[in-house]
Structure 1
């Protein structure tokens, strides 16, 4: 009897694999027949400035996406926050009769600020262009392919938000377009949610989720953001790190001083600051701040096994990035992103290069980025840093200006300001809905996909647990070398096509 049952299961698996393989083939045929039109629409989306603080550009981007959705027959509306003037979330839904599950597909349409002068010659952030390879491999700008010309999947498209995260919006909507054009009825209710404030920390997302709670009910949120694994394999990610940013500014003299007349006597704030920062981490990258790792929730046995199964990208990435010794005292990259981190995003004090002057500056500032894992609390982690600064002899204030009384009373003064930040989130890997997602993504890949307990990046996904009691799983599509948040952001075309196949499969889960 047991043998007979196993034969039935094997037969069902074969049939499932065959059906899924057929779905991938159908999707590929649809894409090949429509890839010029798909990329033309994508290039149009990339041409609209979408810097998160540019309200006009954000509104234009939102309107373009609404048009994309309505052209696909998706019932669409904008969801406002309680606060006025906040970028809306764009919402759409496709309700399937007799469907027993509902998935919400999330991406964000805002982008990071840009400095056009930092981009490569001939590439402008909001005038997307094709390159025949990545810049690092000597890629050159090429003409937009004509309808009669083939498109090389190894080409890149360069432009702000090409990967983060207009690629996510494009992939989700193109997957739904493919399903309808192929005559496939979705197996689940589909909802779409495109946020317009993610790059500013999703400041008002909580308001939007709370205000529209009933409309956003679902069994799972599928997040399309971030890169695939460095090996190129597709991955399913079950959590994200939290994030909170701090600014530490130390003060010395009230005015700049001649470095010859006052050097060796007047305190130099740049020197003070780098010495302070050096007390926060050792030479192997371990954070030395008291209690920094104390409240970390340990990985489960299943999560530890998933980490052990991940193909290690460490050597590949060291060679790619050009350094010999990594931090972490021998721990792998996958292990280290499961721990909280402290990163110096930038340091400023006076000038360098052609603008350098022989002075002792008045202040020095460091921007700190604290990545959080499950168990950490954003404000508690900030307070640990503040207490550490105090332990180094500093008087700490949050005030914008420093009074003369404070200057004459305290030898070491630091102003510390922190943003609100948000905590980490992690979904259990053994949930039944999670297994369906894994199965769907695996059906589109000949290689074993990567199961990642948590990504190194951050999204405020804890809010979906808090307000909607709904788990989230991230299924990224972008190439790992996409330069997100930086100059020369790009997307490899094959990643768009592979992502399309993935999201068609996700919209067809059984």
Structure 2
């Protein structure tokens, strides 16, 4: 009898895990319109990260959504007057592992020109045509897209989790892990308070695995996981000319032009091939590991298609993802003088430019800031951090004001071969029916390094948004099929993951 029981136990453990995807898909087919109605209502809630009242309304809404699904919740803040991180917890009887799911519900500003519909009045389109999806018959076309701020970055991940929980409950499928959730409300500001929140709630957030739900899928359309993301630090520079605009015929050969000064200053920091020229910037960059090279080499080639889609005649590296483990210096904006009907033949009083530097593991934002300012001084610039007065302007031939962004973050990268990472890859593989792609580090940035370091937990990034979702730009969108697939992926991570 004992031998028979042992054999049965062996058979039970040897059986392949069963994905809940077919059950979840059937449930989704029957509830597509309600799912899209719910998501539309969520996207319609303004969520620009700098507008605290709107962010707080989103936080209260999400806390209620989790409570309705059996979670105990708390709104975690660094202090009064700062955005809330929504925390939720639901334990599963008998579960041996706890998974912490991260996403963010705040969004980028909406002032970009060219929105074809209002950012917080979501519409569904088939190509350029608005679709009356509520009146349409039959299944919703998965290639239709819903447009609005936050659709792809990052409300899709939040909605996928909520809908996955609903699908599992409706189908009587119990999660296999204890579930903890943190949904951040200031990621798009650089997560200035996330580290403080995590450190103050280390015991509350303790888990065996962190799943980072943010960012787009691979450009091939295949499901991909990543093992970290880059850090970021940003700043704004101002250079000064005369204290009032001057006629460029009378003074153009005598008074230095802020336009030219800014152009030369930018050229001293980055060359035309993307190489950063700031001394020391590459000193802390770690070399690629063999596992990194193998994972990058296994990614499907998509560069030729992207060149055609973006209409670009050259690229800075041969393979897109190969640049993710190197820092990137990006010029976000340059402004000087006026243009169009307001253009004047005058020397401007100042020129401004905005930058961000994407950081890789081992680089520290504070050290990079020091390297930038040391470079500026080495180029003969007198560096200030407030508007210079007349005496200062007379005393120094070249003055640059540097204003660093409030939020910055370090990069994070975890090993590709942890048991937890294997469990995530296997779960998603069973859901989608093919081996998941593995990206050593994603190109984007977040404050997730603070969570990983404070909790000493392995991290795996799971993306569900279409790569061409226009995140951070006008006409942000989400392909409906990506939301449908994302619900299945999250259901698998909840109910089909053990290690």
Same-fold status (TM-score > 0.5): yes
Cα separation, 2, equivalents of 1:13 and 1:205: 40
* Offset at residue 70 of structure 1 (A): 2.4
Match of 1:413 in 2: 399
Q: Which residue of 2 aligns with 1:386?
A: 373
Q: Deviations over 1:157-201 (max 9, x none)?
A: 000101111111101111111111111111110111111111111
Specify every segment of 5 or more residues in structure 2 that has no aligned partner in the other structure, as ranges: 1-7
Q: CA deviation at 1:38?
A: 1.1
Q: Distance in 2 between matches of 1:211 and 1:284?
A: 43
Distance of 2:395 and 2:252 partners within structure 1: 22
Kindly indicate whether residue 78 of structure 2 is the aligned counterpart of residue 91 of structure 1.
Answer: no
1:284 aligns with 2:273: yes
**Corresponding position of 1:299:** 288
Supply the distance in 1 between the matched residues of 2:113 and 2:439 (Cα, whole angstroms): 36
TM-score computed with the length of structure 1 as normaliser = 0.92
How far apart, in 1, do the equivalents of 2:247 and 2:411 lie?
47
Equivalence for 1:249: 238
Aligned partners of 1:250, 1:402: CA distance in 2, in Å? 10
Change (3 A) 1:35 1:13: farther
Q: Work out the CA distance in 2 between the residues paired with 1:30 and 1:462.
A: 36
Q: Do 2:274 and 2:328's aligned partners in 1 also have CA atoms closer than 8 Å?
A: no
Q: CA deviation at 1:57?
A: 1.4
Query: 1:27-176 counterparts in 2 under 5 A?
Result: 27-81=24-78, 83-115=79-111, 117-120=113-116, 123-133=117-127, 139-146=128-135, 149-176=138-165
Q: 1:432 aligns with which of 404, 416, 419?
A: 419
2:307 is equivalent to residue 310 of structure 1: no
Structure 1 position 421, deviation (Å):
1.3
Q: CA deviation at 1:74?
A: 2.2
* Equivalent of residue 199 in structure 1, options 179, 188, 191: 188
8 A contact 1:464–1:471 mirrored in 2? no
Report the RMSD for the aligned CA atoms in angstroms.
Answer: 1.9
Asked whether the equivalents of residues 191 and 409 of structure 2 are also in contact (C-alpha less than 8 Å), the reply is no
* Equivalent-residue separation in structure 2 for 1:118 and 1:453 (angstroms): 35
TM-score scaled by length of structure 2 = 0.94
Cα distance between partner residues in 2 of 1:479 and 1:116: 21
**2:345 aligned with 1:351:** no
2:221 corresponds to 1:232: yes
- Give the match for residue 204 of structure 2: 215
Separation in structure 1 between the aligned mates of residue 346 and residue 436 of structure 2, nearest angstrom = 55
| 2: CA distance, partners of 1:15 / 1:97 | 22
Displacement after TM superposition at 1:264 (Å): 1.4
The answer to whether 1:441 aligns with 2:415 is no
Q: Which moved more, 1:139-148 or 1:294-303?
A: 139-148
Shift, 1:145, TM fit: 2.3
CA distance in 1, matches of 2:44, 2:395: 55
Distance 2:241 2:442 in 1: 40
**Does residue 405 of structure 2 align to residue 403 of structure 1?**
no
- Aligned equivalent of 1:3: none
Counterparts in 2 of 1:181 and 1:262: CA distance versus 1, 3 Å: same
Whole-Å Cα distance in 1 between the matches of residues 315 and 263 of structure 2? 21
The alpha-carbon deviation at position 277 of structure 1 amounts to 0.8
Q: Is the 8 A contact 1:145 1:151 kept in 2?
A: no
Contact 2:160 2:487 in 1 (8 A): yes
**CA contact 1:129–1:144 (8 Å) conserved in 2:** no
Farther off after superposition, 109-118 or 154-163: 109-118
Q: Shift of residue 93 of structure 1? A: 1.2
- Name the SS for the 2:153 alignment partner: coil
Q: Answer yes or no: is the 8 Å Cα contact 2:195–2:447 preserved in 1.
A: no
Cα distance in structure 2, aligned partners of 1:438 and 1:466: 22
Residue 5 of structure 1 is matched in structure 2 by none
Distance 1:75 1:55, change over 3 A: same
Q: CA deviation at 1:45?
A: 0.5
Instruction: State the shift of 1:281 in Å.
Output: 2.0
Per the alignment, do residues 96 and 289 of structure 1 end up closer, same or farther by CA in structure 2, a change over 3 Å counting? same
Distance in 1 of aligned mates of 2:267 and 2:112: 33
Residue 351 of structure 1 aligns to a residue whose secondary structure is: coil
How many pairs were matched up? 488
Distance 1:115 1:13, change over 3 A: farther
Superposition deviation, residue 13 in structure 1: 10
User: Following superposition, which runs of at least 4 residues in structure 1 exceed 6 angstroms of deviation?
Assistant: 11-14
